[in-house]
Amino acid sequence: MPTRPASAAIIRENNLSLVLRLIHASGSISRAEIIRRTGLSATTVSALANVLIESGFVREAGIGESSGGRRPILMEFNYQYRYALGIDMGASHATTVVMDLSGKVISHETQRCDVINEPELTFAVIKTLTAQALKQAQIEPDHLLGVGFTVPTPLGGEALDRLVTYYMPVWEGILPKPKIRALFPGLPVYLENDANAGAIGEKWWGSGQEFADLAYIKIGIGVGSGLVINHQIYRGESGTAGEIGHTTIEVDGRLCRCGNHGCMEAYVGGPGLLADAQAALQAAHRRADEMPGTVEDLVDAALQGDAVCRQVIQKAGRYLGTSIANLLNLVNPGLVILGGELVQAGELLMEPIHASIRERVMPIAAQQAAIVAGKLGNDAIAIGAATLVIQNAFEPTQLAKTLNGRQAAQVYS
């Protein structure tokens, strides 16, 4: 059956999105260069450029260099025209960032809270943090293009808008999107798994910008990964791809919170890591006040030379390296980015990771894959959440909603 041709309105909608994305990526560009790079007619580009200038997304920016004829008038993207709000709801914290459209974080707020067990308290904390972040950024909610929001669990349901709650059972039946929409009525809200958002953040603005295929591994209370294949997040059949923490590294190993035995997360995730540290320190007859209460405490002690804490982190690195080796053999990404508090251990963690990889990965994959700490640090997930807003704001249908009525009529009528 022949495919029906796209309507003129849809074509114009797609062309507007195409031109806006090109200007955003270029920073400044002439109409002639847009014509050359898109293949659109001069009349079409002129009409679209006028709409974008009127919208505020784009402005004229003076005269460019001549390539033989008249010097062109440049258009530049207005990266401060609107902003994106990113909310990272971790297992034990909430973080919010306000970001302009160039990826620059202009405000940041974070607070520890028991997200796993306290849903209503978590949303109260998020409400406070978002208000503080907007105040610090000196913007109002109507300056936002939207809100990106992450959760520390896989997403399920046909629309991937429901939490898979076997990690956090008290959240059963709670839909986070309506909760966030209630804080920001009228704004689009985008929901994502935290590790996927970390991968998006590092891919757009951090360590992964030059890579088509990468993995971002988030090490916290749990261990998850976001997989980027051919520049896109890979979700798998049911949306749960990337659960690297639940790959088996000890066949008859300890019980994991997922109900299985021997998962990597049970050894490298925060609770297992701290349990190992405390057991090792007790065996070494250390005082109670020397026991680390957090992963940061453990890392600090190790970096200050505590031999027992160093051994615990090195063992975790070997376990983590084994799971990364399996990932490299199976998916073969060009880059693996590590995020989370444990990564602050630096070479103390990285050296045993690399040792495990050398022992277990096909030589060509081991030689070509890079394993690095993320450039965005602990804010990668919140930045990735804000990036969801930018990704979606430039999509044709959402862009139509963002433009005001007069501007939309110029393009879509």
Over residues 2-59, the pLDDT tens digits come to 444 568 888 888 999 999 999 999 999 999 999 999 999 999 999 999 999 999 999 9
Judged against a pLDDT cut of 70, whether residue 411 lies above it is answered with no
**Residues found in the chain:** 413
The pLDDT assigned to 412 comes to: 47
Please give the pLDDT value at position 93: 95
Same domain, 50 and 180: no
- Lowest mean per-residue pLDDT among 50-59, 71-80, 185-194, 400-409: 400-409
Same domain, 155 and 290: no
Q: Does the residue 313 lie in any domain?
A: yes
User: Do both 247 and 369 map to the same domain?
Assistant: yes
In-domain check, residue 409 = no
> Three-class SS of residue 239?
coil
8-state DSSP, 72: P
Residues 266 and 122 in one domain: no
- Answer whether residue 215 is part of any domain: yes
According to DSSP, the residues that pair with 104 across neighbouring strands are none
What is the rounded CA–CA span in Å between residue 294 and residue 344?
13
User: Could you say which DSSP state residue 186 is in?
Assistant: T
The span from the CA of 241 to the CA of 220, in Å, is 18
For residue 349, give the nearest of 236, 252, 268, 263 by alpha carbon: 268
Give the domain range for residue 147.
Answer: 83-199+380-393
* Of 275 and 369, more confident: 275
What's the whole-number mean pLDDT along residues 58-71?
70
**Domain termination site, one of 78, 105, 120:** 78
Q: Are residues 57 and 174 in the same domain?
A: no
From 302, 286, 392, 376, select the one nearest 337 (Cα to Cα): 376
Closest-CA residue to 152 (of 112, 124, 192): 192
pLDDT computed for residue 266 by the predictor? 97
Same domain, residue pair 224 and 355: yes
Residues 89 and 194 in one domain: yes
The last residue of one of the domains, among 49, 78, 107, is 78
pLDDT at 406 over 50: no
In this predicted model, what pLDDT tens digit does every residue of 116-140 receive, in sequence order? Answer: 999 999 999 999 999 999 999 999 9
Distance from C-alpha of 262 to C-alpha of 252, rounded to nearest angstrom: 6
Q: Are 94 and 233 found together in one domain?
A: no
Angle between helices 31-38 and 8-26 (to 10 degrees): 120
* 88/198 Cα distance (integer angstroms): 10
152-204 confidence digits (pLDDT tens): 999 988 888 899 988 899 999 999 999 999 999 999 999 999 999 999 999 99
Same domain, 93 and 219: no
Whether 408 is in a domain gets the answer no
Q: What local confidence, expressed as pLDDT, does residue 69 receive?
A: 57
Q: What confidence tier does 332 reach under pLDDT thresholds 50, 70, 90?
A: very high
pLDDT band at 65 (very low <50, low <70, confident <90, very high): low
- pLDDT category at 364 given cuts 50, 70, 90 is confident
Q: Which residues contact 411 (CB under 8 A, 6 or more apart)?
A: 12, 13, 16, 47, 48, 51, 400, 403
Q: Quick: pLDDT tens for 235-252.
A: 998 888 999 999 999 999
Q: What is the CATH number of the domain that holds 158?
A: 3.30.420.40
pLDDT of residue 80: 95
Count of domains for the chain: 3
* Confidence at 67, pLDDT banded by 50, 70, 90: low
Asked if the structure places residue 387 within a domain, the reply is: yes
CATH number for the domain harbouring residue 16: 1.10.10.10
Q: Is residue 3 part of a domain?
A: no
Would 2 be classed as within a structural domain? no
> The tokens 């062309």 sit on which residue?
15
| Residues 229 and 352 grouped into a single domain | yes
The residue from 78, 100, 122 where one domain ends is 78
Q: Is 146 helix (H, G, I), strand (E, B) or coil?
A: strand
Give pLDDT, residue 382.
98
Mean pLDDT of the chain: 92
- Contact of 124 with 360, CB cutoff 8 Å: no
Phi-psi sector, 259: left (phi>0), alpha (psi -120 to 50), beta: left
One domain, residues 315 and 178:
no
CA dihedral (135, 138, 144, 150) in degrees, to 10, reads -40
Give, as one character, the DSSP assignment of residue 261: B
Lowest mean pLDDT among 266-270, 353-357, 379-383, 400-404: 400-404
406 domain-assigned: no
- Judgement on whether residues 270 and 369 belong to the same structural domain of the protein: yes
Query: In this predicted structure, what is the pLDDT of residue 160?
Result: 86
